[in-house]
Chains A and B, each alone.
Chain A
Amino acid sequence: MISVKNVRKAFDEKIVLNGFDLEIPRGESLVIMGRSGCGKSVLLKIIAGLLSVDAGEVWIDGTEITQLKRKPLNQIRRKIGMLFQSAALFDSMSVAENIAFMLDQHTDLTEQEMRKVVDEKLNLVDLDGVQDLRPAQLSGGMRKRVGLARALAFNPEIILYDEPTTGLDPVTCTEINELIRDLNQQLQVTSVVVTHDMHSAFSVGTLMVMLHEGKQIAYGKPEDLINEENPILQQFILFGAPDQILNIDNPTLKEFTGRQTE
């Protein structure tokens, strides 16, 4: 379980998170929504221990991580896999070396055993025969899949996705969304997905949170959020959600839809 309690974070004068609270129960797939620059990725990096907080606490499986030193923090990080927005594959390494990196650094597995894990993880993300390619030789969608395979290499309990479908064509977006959903079901992990792509959000989320001006303004199951009458939330959903979701009977949503069609 992940708990974010009253977290504040500012960069110089700009306050990004202003007393943000969040609970992510184990096994759930939580989508963090919000406009560009509202602090979604900052929140994800705080959960991963990549950014410090100005105030507040972040608890992962009963451990408060904001005050941890590098060694105990790294122990917690072994439970976490992260897919970065740009995939963040190491350019100087092959696909196989990228996926095996964490195993090479933190285990005594032999080359052959690591190769087996690499093949297994690539199979999980529906990729094969790319082991010896360099990241520069891969397409955007393939890079994301390899990034995901690398995130899965150490069998994490938590997977963090930073805008997993950004910059991809609609077909690849759908494939990545399906992949995230399938992995959640197969591996029973806790997922935290940052996105402003509503198709992706409704496709992979079992829980959703809306971040606005540094605070949580909505939290709940997708079907509950659609029926909430928060104008900021509904406006956000209206401009990006799939048609079948917009057909749901919600007065606020209808009001926006009406304005839109007038």
Chain B
Amino acid sequence: MSNPPSDPAPSNEFATIIKKRLYHSLSETGDAFRLLAETIFQIFRPPLQFNLLMKQLLLIGFNSLSVVLVSGFFTGMVLGIQGYVQLKPYAVEGSVAKFVSVSVVKELGPMITAFVLSGRIGASITAELSTMKVTEQIDALEVMGTNPVKHLVVPRFLACSIMLPTLTIFSTFAGIFGGYVAVVSLFGFNGDFYILQVQKYLYVGSVLISLIKATSFGMAIAAIGCYKGFSISTAGGAEGVGTATTGSAVISLVTILVLDFVLNHILFNILGLV
């Protein structure tokens, strides 16, 4: 007895859905890069509206400082405890300061700052711009002869690109200090030795890597936040704003991780920096 012929419809349907999703994702990526290119073009096109830039610098930088400091401090404390506990069995707990400072400067400083800002600033940029879109405020800008990319995206993009490395410096110092507090207060580690170790292993190249990463993360957060805000349809309403905001936060987080891998590969593997 022969088997009944299998119905090809479900697999075809599945292939069509995958094709549609892939096409949609590629099309969205293309649109996002087009917005990024337009933003970079508009940055170099005078006049740059400094009052708008200053407002965004203040919003992004000053208002995020406390949460970045706290996040950095506790990350440093956790690293200090873990480093000390893991290194002690091998009698190399003296390297805990190097472990904390290298980890925080090269990796966790920019990463934690970017995570905090993607949730705080990226999502808020998307919510603000998408609300402007559904309430026709962006159309109003257009009708009044003002380029929305120049007026809305450029200040946010520049502010994120400037403030993320700035906040990373604060977060890094908070992390190193957190590690210091943890190992000195909990394990009786010699504080002067900790500081000496940090000074010894804190290279200019490492700081440069940290700042390159942070700037890239800042650009990505702003670009994704602005794109998700602009890409909502006018008929999207409150539900559309919510979906865009969640999407912005999720995509930013994933992009930061992927970008971190790519930058690590380029900076350490290809360029051979240490």
Contacts and interface: CB of A to CB of B under 8 A. Distances in A.
Interface residues of B, number: 13
B137 A50 contact: no
B135 A80 contact: no
A74 B131 CA distance: 24
A88 B140 contact: yes
A259 interface: no
Interface residues of A, number: 24
B144 A84 contact: no
Nearest to B55: A92
B142 A50 contact: yes
A134 interface: no
A74 B144 CA distance: 8
A86 B137 CA distance: 9
Interface string B202-241: 0000000000000000000000000000000000000000
A106 interface: yes
A70 B143 contact: no
A16 interface: no
B136 A80 contact: no
A45 B140 CA distance: 11
A122 to B, nearest CB: 17
B229 to A, nearest CB: 14
A102 interface: yes
B137 A77 contact: no
Contacts of B139: 45, 48, 50, 84, 88
A102 B142 contact: no
B5 interface: no
Contacts of A89: 137, 140
B143 A77 contact: yes
Interface string B131-173: 1100111011011111100000000000000000000000000
B54 to A, nearest CB: 14
A110 interface: no
A77 B144 contact: yes
B145 A102 contact: yes
B135 A88 contact: yes
Interface in B109-142: 131-132, 135-137, 139-140, 142
B140 A90 contact: yes
Query: Looking at B132, B137, B145, which has the most chain A CB atoms within 10 Å of its CB?
Result: B145
Contacts of A70: 147
Interface string A80-108: 11101110111100000000011001100
Interface of A: 45, 48-50, 70, 74-75, 77-78, 80-82, 84-86, 88-91, 101-102, 105-106, 154
30 contacts: A48-B139, A48-B142, A48-B143, A49-B143, A70-B147, A74-B145, A77-B142, A77-B143, A77-B144, A81-B143, A84-B136, A84-B140, A86-B135, A88-B135, A88-B136, A88-B137, A88-B140, A89-B140, A90-B137, A90-B140, A91-B131, A91-B132, A91-B135, A91-B137, A101-B146, A102-B145, A102-B146, A105-B145, A105-B146, A154-B144
Interface of B: 131-132, 135-137, 139-140, 142-147
